[in-house]
Structure 1
Amino acid sequence: MSYVVTGGAGYIGGHLVDHLVGEKNEVIVIDDFSNGNYINNQAKYLKIDLRDKSAFSLRIPKGSILYHLAANPDVRTSMIDPFEHFSRDVEVTFNVLELARRNDVSLFIFASSSTVYGETDKIPTPESAELKPISNYGIFKLVGEQLVEYYSRIYGIKGISVRLANVTGGRVSHGVIKDFIEKLRKNPNKLEILGNGKQRKSYIYITDTISAFRILEKKSEKTYDAFNIGNEDWITVNEIAQIIEEEMGLVPVHEYVDRGDGRGWEGDVRFMLLDVTKIKRLGWAPKYSSAQAVRYAARDIIYGYNLRA
């Protein structure tokens, strides 16, 4: 099978590429290496800035499965530099959909985000919940979903939007786990925590994410559909700090930087737990809990990458 992975030099994309080439598939990666530089020598890499419309002229194998993972993944910076995020998260998605249309891909899988829901009163949050993002990252992901649905409906491209919880594990590029570890390496006696530490969210280990992708490839039936991919439990920021401190053998003083509403930054969703009933009906379930995902990710970063099956 032929696969195209945009953002394949990044965190999730790199793990997906490893998995696909491990199954002896032909894999083409399209990336500008701005948010990742991972390379698997068994894949073919095209260094291209997908914001450039010349990407339309690319030729990829007809009937390929295309995973669109390229984006600026930092929710926090989307509130600081929205123009940068719009170009990478909306314009790029449109350009990649045009690439898919012109090359007759068989399936287009778009990496969306739990942030499209914003702060909802439906916990766990099903796919049918109202979509009211509170960050630029979230609204741009929602626009991306709408573009994928439109291309599916108008041009007949089979499309799936995957609304991801917090994905973590080896080689993770950003997020609270890596942030805490880096802070504690600089100062083992103090840990700065953004927000009040009571934010509670769902975390999923990278291998569980990849297995969910592959289930959707094989079993999603509609011309267009959206699926949550997350865990069945959640964990607070304070609990994450405790796990990391245990793994590092440290007992630092906590210093909270709270905006007054418990958020770590503008646009921070304080409570997130996705309802994964829909994808579970297809035969998928997470192998690791949120706490296990956090602990294994911490070990991957502290002691060196050691992917779990």
Structure 2
Amino acid sequence: MTVLVTGGAGFIGSHLAEAFLEEGHRVVTLDVLDPYYDLGIKERNLERCREAAPDRFSFVEGSITDRSLVEDVFETHDPDAVYHQAAQAGVRTSVEKPKKVHEINTTGLVHLLEAAVESDVRRFVNASSSSVYGVPEYLPYDEEHPNTPKSPYGVTKLAAEHYCRVWNEIHDLPTVSLRYFTVYGPRMRPNMAITNFTSRCLNGEAPIIYGDGEQTRDFTYVDDVVEANLALLETDAADGEVLNVGSTGTITIRELAEHVVDVTDADVEPVHEDARAADARHTHADVSKARELIGYEPTTEIRAGVSRFVDWYRDNREWYEPLVRRS
């Protein structure tokens, strides 16, 4: 197959691109290379893909907001499947720049959906987010939980899900939306809590917790996310559906910081600063629907996953840490 991965130079997108290449597929990556964080990480991600399969990997630089570019990519490469990971990430960023987030996360998606219908794409997978849920009425969240997003980012992700549903119903486009729950792992974004905690602890600095630290998160290791996406290339069981992609449990941010301190052997204590606006208080995924429809089974518990990430960070510290510290 030919698989188009939008946002394929980013964290999750590059892991997916590598996985599809390992499976023997052709991969086309479309990415604008927005310097939301240091581009050195994205450039290294692309180089890994080129080295893995130079004859089966193509990179197109540009934005999904450019309709003519999107149409050209589909006409040139004729993808069988689209894995849409491109987005303006960041809950806090969306509060500051809502118009930019709307243009990328909704208008850009519509361009892709229109092109996918014209190209008779066999599978369209949309990366959504647990941010669509907002304030929990109960936990864990199942897919029927009310959606009351607290940020413009969450609003755009919910709108994207509805666009995918409508395109499935009106145009018979085989769409699926995956609601990711805080994905982490090697090459993750520098501005995420686990990266910041690790970087600070390895440099003898106290990890900073925003708020009281009792907020909980369902952190999902990137390998589990990749497996969920790979499964969708082999089945049509989830057409038109929305699925949670979470982990095996939750952890408080305070416990997370303390675990990173322990794993790094840092002689520091976490410190607290004011809570950030629009951050969710708690997240926790019920993954029973994904388990039933696509056989999804998360395998990486948060403490084990963080330990693996710290090991990877140490092994790649020479190139990764300067980029983290600059971001």
Return the TM-score normalized by structure 2.
Answer: 0.86
Partner residue in 2 for 1:284:
296
Q: Residues 283, 190 of structure 1: CA spacing in aligned structure 2 closer, same or farther, 3 A cutoff?
A: closer
Aligned 8 A contact 1:159 1:225 in 2: yes
Moved over 6 A (4+): none
Structure 1 gaps, min length 5? 259-263
Asked whether 1:48 is paired with 2:42, we answer no
Q: What is the match of residue 172 of structure 1? A: 188
- The number of equivalent residue pairs is 299
Alignment of 1:109 onto 2:125: yes
Q: Distance in 2 between matches of 1:9 and 1:54?
A: 21
Matched residues in 2 for 1:298 and 1:135: separation?
A: 30
- Taking the aligned partners of 1:220 and 1:271, their CA distance within structure 2 comes to 32
Tell me if the contact between 2:248 and 2:299 (Cα under 8 Å) persists in the aligned partners: no
In structure 2, how many angstroms separate the alpha carbons of the residues matched to 1:60 and 1:128?
39
Matches within 5 A, 1:100-249: 100-173=116-189, 174-185=191-202, 188-249=204-265
Match of 2:325 in 1: none
Aligned match of 1:91: 107
- Per-residue displacement from partner, 1:75-104 (whole Å, max 9, x unpaired)? 221111112211221121111112212211
**Which residues of structure 2 form unaligned runs of 5+?**
37-41, 318-327
Distance 2:16 2:282 in 1: 28
Note if contact 1:156-1:223 (Cα within 8 Å) is conserved in structure 2. Answer: no
Shift of 1:196: 1.0
Percentage of pairs with the same residue: 26
The answer to whether the Cα contact below 8 Å between 1:78 and 1:135 also exists between their aligned partners in 2 is yes
Contact 1:5–1:29 (Cα < 8 Å) also in 2? yes
Are residues 1:304 and 2:316 paired?
Answer: yes
Distance 1:106 1:246 in 2: 47
- Bigger drift between 93-102 and 196-205 goes to 93-102
Q: Assess if the C-alpha contact under 8 Å between 2:8 and 2:29 holds in 1.
A: yes
Length-normalised TM-score, structure 1: 0.91
CA displacement at 1:63 relative to structure 2: 5.9
Verify: 1:26 aligned to 2:30, yes or no. Answer: no
CA contact (8 A) 1:232 1:273 kept: no
Match of 1:261 in 2: none
Distance 1:267 1:279 in 2: 28
User: C-alpha deviations, 1:179-214, integer Å up to 9, x for none?
Assistant: 22233455x243321111111111111111111112
| RMSD over equivalenced CA pairs, Å | 1.7
Shift of 1:123: 0.7
Counterpart amino acid of residue 244 in structure 2: N
Q: 1:223 to 1:60 in 2, by over 3 A?
A: farther
CA deviation digits over 1:243-262, x for unaligned, max 9? Answer: 2112221132332113xxxx
- Residue 274 in structure 1 maps to residue 274 in structure 2: no
More helix as a share of residues: 2
Q: Which amino acid aligns with 2:66?
A: D
